[in-house]
Chain A
Amino acid sequence: MAEVNNLIIGLLAASGILSLFVFVTGGTLGILSAIPLLIAIIAAPLSFLLYKWGYWLVPYVTRGQRVIQSDDAIVEIPHTEDVVVKKVGDYYYASMYVVVKIFKSVTNMTDEEKFGFMELWERTVSALKPVTKYAVLVYLKDLYKYKESIEARKAKAQMEIAKENEKPNPDKQRLDLLMREISMWDGILSRLDVGDKPTAILTYIQTTAKGMTKDAAMAAARQNVNEIRTAIGTALNVEIAPLSGEDMKRCFDWEYTLPRGTKGL
């Protein structure tokens, strides 16, 4: 990359110097002046072409390389697993992800509440100084784990029915409740059997901070999280908590948002 940057600066300098040379000599070299001018006219746009696509054009032209290697997706996750660190140039960028738990659906709000919520949301977001990303992630649950958990709950309800029936005076209301629960689990299982995919929704906020060292960037990111927590959490009455481990990875690693392995497919 540094080599390409030097090349860009060299081309710009060559373009300027050659033009200046012809300007100073005033075209006294006659037709020979056309050569430095031609180089200057070609070098300037070429420098921008290299600035923009030099990272793949230079290896392609010099070595015929058709596969370009870069490190855009290489990040470091410290042992705390609540932050993602990436070094870009001389700076470290630390990103943190916080989950936003909204307990009230808009369908349960009155019209005034909805409008008020929206207005508060816009005002709160516009008051935040750092660049912030808000995301709604609809992800697939692991079908087998999900099915297993539903079946386990169904079995538990069936066992409770059996226990209740064994009693000398079974509680009819409780039995009815348990029967309803079983039919609910059956409904979910039958939907899964016909191919419905179990999905979940995760609303999260991503904030990034920059620092000269890794620790400085991480500390600044934590400070941003506190600011977001205070501003958004208080204004919208929602619960905000930092994400870590697998939940955090789900925000940027597609491996965690999709069922893994051939079974899932």
Chain B
Amino acid sequence: MVELTERNAALAAIGLCLFATAITFMNLSSLGGIFGVILIIIGVLGMAATYVLFTMGYAVMPFMTSTLGVSDLLGNGYKIPPSQDVVIRNVGGIYHATMYMSARFYEAATSEVEEEMTVAYMDLWERALAGIKFPFKFCLISFPEDIAKYRENLETQRYAATIKLGKEREKPNPDALTIDKWEREIARLNAMLARLTAGEKPMGAVMYVATTGIGVNEAAAIAAAQRQVGEIRSTVANALNLDIKVVKGEDLKRCFTWEFYIPPDRAEFVSSL
């Protein structure tokens, strides 16, 4: 039996909407021109809206909850206000506001960069951590990638790069820089494939940072958390060349529930993202 996951629900909704729109198109003459056209427009808009909700729901939800003034009580005193960018908890009259940020590394430590860079990175990492004087948490969730798919993807990329390199070489005046770029790309992909052949397993990772501010009321706690977020962004992001963004809506809830449990299987974890 097919499980009702978010992806399946989106596909079913888009598929059925497309089916209904196609039937409208087929019976356009019997429906009376203008009604049929209106139905087709509604159908196309419905499909587009479903796709946007599926892919960018995290951005739409905070807007909707803020507009409608809906807040979420998570139990145990935790609350997500309508802005959907912070989790608040009242502990004995003191408010704790926790904000989550996504962190994006652009390179693995050992695959593509030079040894000196890796070494410098580790030093910077320790110093950046030691330099922050308020509570924060840096989390990395690792999960094994599907080796077959990963290998296939690398081979496709290598094939594409080889074709592009060949095309550039066939030109009457080939650009040396472009040739060098594609040669490097092929060498990088070859190195990754060689690592797979040597028995290394590909790994996926999700990273996020959390920080908590405290205050005598909700606004003060949120302000403290926002100040801390700014400090983390400037300290850690600059030192480690990370892309740090505040997470909102569903992503915020996801980060919050990961504190208690993480989906243990790869498939379950990936489908929850």
Which A residues are closer than 8 A to B by beta carbons?
5, 8-9, 12, 15-16, 18-19, 22-23, 26-28, 30-31, 33-34, 37-38, 40-45, 47-49, 51-53, 56, 60, 66-75, 84, 86, 88, 93-95, 105-107, 111, 114-115, 117-119, 121-123, 125-140, 196-197, 199, 201, 206-210, 224, 251-252, 254-255, 257-258, 260-262, 264-265
CB distance from B185 to the nearest CB of A (A): 22
Q: Are A254 and B129 in contact (CB under 8 A)?
A: no
List, sorted by A's number, 26 A–B pairs whose CB atoms are closer than 8 Å.
A5-B4, A19-B20, A22-B27, A27-B30, A31-B32, A34-B32, A41-B39, A48-B13, A53-B57, A60-B68, A60-B70, A71-B74, A72-B256, A115-B118, A118-B109, A122-B203, A128-B144, A130-B264, A135-B137, A140-B135, A208-B264, A254-B98, A254-B212, A257-B212, A262-B94, A262-B216
Question: How many angstroms between the C-alpha atoms of A18 and B139 in the bound complex?
Answer: 48
CB distance from A34 to the nearest CB of B (A): 5
Which B residues are closer than 8 A to A by beta carbons?
4, 6, 9-10, 12-17, 19-21, 23-24, 26-27, 29-32, 35-36, 39, 42-43, 46-47, 49-50, 53-54, 57, 61, 64-65, 68-78, 89, 91-94, 96, 98, 108-110, 115-116, 118-119, 122-123, 125-126, 129-130, 132-144, 200-203, 212, 214-216, 253, 256-266, 269
Most chain A CB neighbours (cut-off 10 Å) among B39, B135, B143, B263: B135
Query: Chain B contacts of A37 at CB under 8 A?
Result: 20, 23-24, 31, 39
Query: Chain B contacts of A261 at CB under 8 A?
Result: 92, 94
Question: How many angstroms between the C-alpha atoms of A114 and B124 in the bound complex?
Answer: 12
Question: How many angstroms between the C-alpha atoms of A105 and B94 in the bound complex?
Answer: 36
Nearest opposing residue in chain B for A9, CB measure: B4
Question: How many angstroms between the C-alpha atoms of A206 and B15 in the bound complex?
Answer: 39
Q: Are B135 and A41 in contact (CB under 8 A)?
A: no
Q: Are B30 and A28 in contact (CB under 8 A)?
A: yes
Query: Chain A contacts of B262 at CB under 8 A?
Result: 95, 131-133, 206, 208
Q: Are A255 and B42 in contact (CB under 8 A)?
A: no
Report which of B31, B214, B257 forms a contact with A33, defined as CB distance below 8 A.
B31
Query: Chain B contacts of A70 at CB under 8 A?
Result: 72-75
Question: How many angstroms between the C-alpha atoms of A40 and B16 in the bound complex?
Answer: 8
Question: How many angstroms between the C-alpha atoms of A18 and B23 in the bound complex?
Answer: 11
Question: How many angstroms between the C-alpha atoms of A122 and B4 in the bound complex?
Answer: 35
Q: Are B17 and A84 in contact (CB under 8 A)?
A: no
Say yes or no: A47-B9 contact (C-beta < 8 A), given A133-B258, A135-B137. Answer: yes
Question: How many angstroms between the C-alpha atoms of A208 and B130 in the bound complex?
Answer: 29
Query: Chain B contacts of A111 at CB under 8 A?
Result: 115-116, 119
Q: Are A16 and B16 in contact (CB under 8 A)?
A: yes
Report which of B35, B49, B61 forms a contact with A53, defined as CB distance below 8 A.
B61
Q: Are A132 and B13 in contact (CB under 8 A)?
A: no
Question: How many angstroms between the C-alpha atoms of A261 and B90 in the bound complex?
Answer: 11
CB distance from B55 to the nearest CB of A (A): 12
Question: How many angstroms between the C-alpha atoms of A19 and B24 in the bound complex?
Answer: 9
Query: Chain A contacts of B256 at CB under 8 A?
Result: 72-73
Query: Chain B contacts of A53 at CB under 8 A?
Result: 57, 61, 64
Say yes or no: A126-B136 contact (C-beta < 8 A), given A12-B12, A41-B39, A132-B142. Answer: no
Report which of B57, B72, B125, B269 forms a contact with A52, defined as CB distance below 8 A.
B57
Known pairs A201-B129, A210-B264, A224-B264; list 14 more (Cβ under 8 Å).
Answer: A12-B12, A18-B20, A51-B6, A66-B71, A73-B76, A111-B116, A121-B109, A122-B110, A126-B202, A128-B144, A131-B269, A137-B136, A197-B134, A209-B264
Query: Chain A contacts of B144 at CB under 8 A?
Result: 126, 128-129
Report which of A22, A67, A252, A265 forms a contact with B71, defined as CB distance below 8 A.
A67
Query: Chain A contacts of B136 at CB under 8 A?
Result: 137-138
Nearest opposing residue in chain B for A106, CB measure: B122
Say yes or no: A135-B139 contact (C-beta < 8 A), given A126-B203, A255-B91. Answer: yes
Question: How many angstroms between the C-alpha atoms of A139 and B35 in the bound complex?
Answer: 63
Nearest opposing residue in chain A for B266, CB measure: A131
Report which of B9, B69, B115, B269 forms a contact with A66, defined as CB distance below 8 A.
B69
Query: Chain B contacts of A38 at CB under 8 A?
Result: 39, 42
Question: How many angstroms between the C-alpha atoms of A209 and B261 in the bound complex?
Answer: 9
Query: Chain B contacts of A139 at CB under 8 A?
Result: 135
CB distance from A256 to the nearest CB of B (A): 10
Question: How many angstroms between the C-alpha atoms of A133 and B205 in the bound complex?
Answer: 9
Report which of B4, B69, B94, B138 forms a contact with A51, defined as CB distance below 8 A.
B4
Nearest opposing residue in chain A for B19, CB measure: A19
Question: How many angstroms between the C-alpha atoms of A48 and B49 in the bound complex?
Answer: 10
Q: Are A48 and B76 in contact (CB under 8 A)?
A: no
Nearest opposing residue in chain A for B257, CB measure: A72
Query: Chain B contacts of A123 at CB under 8 A?
Result: 200
Q: Are B39 and A44 in contact (CB under 8 A)?
A: no
Q: Are A41 and B46 in contact (CB under 8 A)?
A: yes
Q: Are B53 and A52 in contact (CB under 8 A)?
A: yes
